[in-house]
Amino acid sequence: MAKPEVQKNYSLKDSIYLVELLKGLVLTWKHFIFNIGASFRKGPHTIPTTWQYPEDRRPISPIFRGEHMMMLDETGRELCVGCGMCAKVCPAKCITVDNSKVPEGQEDRYAGKTYSKNFNIDLLRCIFCGFCEEACPKGAIVLGQGYELAAYTHEGCQLGKDRLLENYKKAKASGTLKPALKPVPVAGAAQKAEATSAVPEGASKAKPEVTKKVLKKAEKKAGEGE
């Protein structure tokens, strides 16, 4: 394994080091002067490329995939029917859902006929791929803009229903709710309507068969429990 010999041919300009050194110095000096000027500007975000976190934050993309939230509909009812599609599609297996039939007299709290009794997202496992959001037939689970997820305890990394709903309220108050995902056009116009169901939709269209199945399951469960 002979290594190829490489000849170095330097021109005089390159060989005396100093010319290129001076060029480099001029370049860094330009940056230096620009940034010195910039650092005397008012406000925290003076040097254009650095954000002075935490008082100065960069804009987050409206479709950012951050901390999850659980959506409510216009009348304040929970959209989640507890079908468990999100748990099924999750590559990291971080979602656990228990569903149950909506109890009598609480129909104003839940949009569907079933609801998720327990809903937990383990942030320690979550990889923020956004598949749950795409899989959800009701648009009930959405990844929001929260990215400060540090916690001291294991419990602090569990997103229960209370925290998910709280995230929704916060996002609504600050006006950072994610715009509804637009279905992309699918190849083959004839089968269009059928194929779009593969890709996620907004919360508008409910799919009856899913709901029915889940309802059945929930009933079965309730029966076993008794």
Partner 1 sequence: MGEILIALIKVVFIWVWVLLCAVVMTWVERRGAAMIQDRPGPNRAGPFGLLQPLADGIKLFTKEDIVPAKAKKILFMLGPLLFSFPAFSTFAVVPFGDKFVIDGKEILLQVSNVNIGFLYIVALGSMAVYGIILGGWASNNKYSILGGLRSTAQLVSYEVPWGLALLAIALVYGTFSLRDIALAQSGTFLGVLPNWGVFKQPLGFILFMVAAYAEANRVPFDLPEAESEIVSGYHTEYGSMRLGLYLFGEYVNIVTLSSLITTFYFGAWHLPYIDMSAFLGPISYGIASFIVFFLKVAFFLWLFVWVRWTVPRFRYDQVMTLGWRELIPLGLFNIFVTALVIQLTA
Partner 2 sequence: MHNSELSESFDEMTSGHSTGDYVKINIGPSHPAMHGTLRVVALTDGESIVSADPEIGYLHRGVEKLGENLNYTQFIPVTDRLNYCSAICNNVSYEMAVEKLMGIEVPEKAQLVRIIMMELARIADHEVLVGILGVDLGAFTPFFYLIIQREEIYEIFEWYNGARLTNTFGRIGGLVADLPSDFETRWQKLRDGIRNANDETDKLLTHNRIWTDRTIGVAAFSPKDALDWGFTGPCLRACGVKRDLRKDEPYSLYSRFDFDVPVGKHGDVFDRYMIRMEEMEESIKIIDQAFKMYKEMPADAPLIAKVPKTIKPPAGDVYHAIEAPNGELGFFIRSDGSDKPYRLKIRPPCYMVYQAFGEMVKGEMIADMIACLSSLNVIAGELDR
116 forms beta bridges with 99
CB of 160 to partner 1, least distance (A): 36
Site string for partner 2, 137-176 (x = CB under 8 A): ------x---------------------------------
Alpha-carbon distance 72 to 69, whole Å? Answer: 10
Which tokens sit at 59? 């804009």
Residues 12-71 that bind partner 1 (CB under 8 A): 18, 21, 24-25, 27-29, 31-32, 35-36, 39, 46-50, 52
Q: Which of 33, 36, 124, 127 forms a contact with partner 2 (CB under 8 A)?
A: 127
Asked whether position 49 contacts partner 2 by CB under 8 A, the answer is yes
Strand partners, 121: 95, 159
Q: C-beta of 40: minimal distance to partner 2 in Å?
A: 21
Nearer to partner 1, 50 or 118 (CB): 50
* CA 47 – CA 32 distance, rounded (Å): 11
DSSP letter (8 states) at residue 72: B
Q: Which residues bind partner 2 (CB under 8 A)?
A: 1-6, 8, 10, 14-17, 20-21, 23-24, 27-28, 49, 60-61, 63-65, 89-92, 127-131, 134, 143, 181, 184-188, 191, 195, 197-200
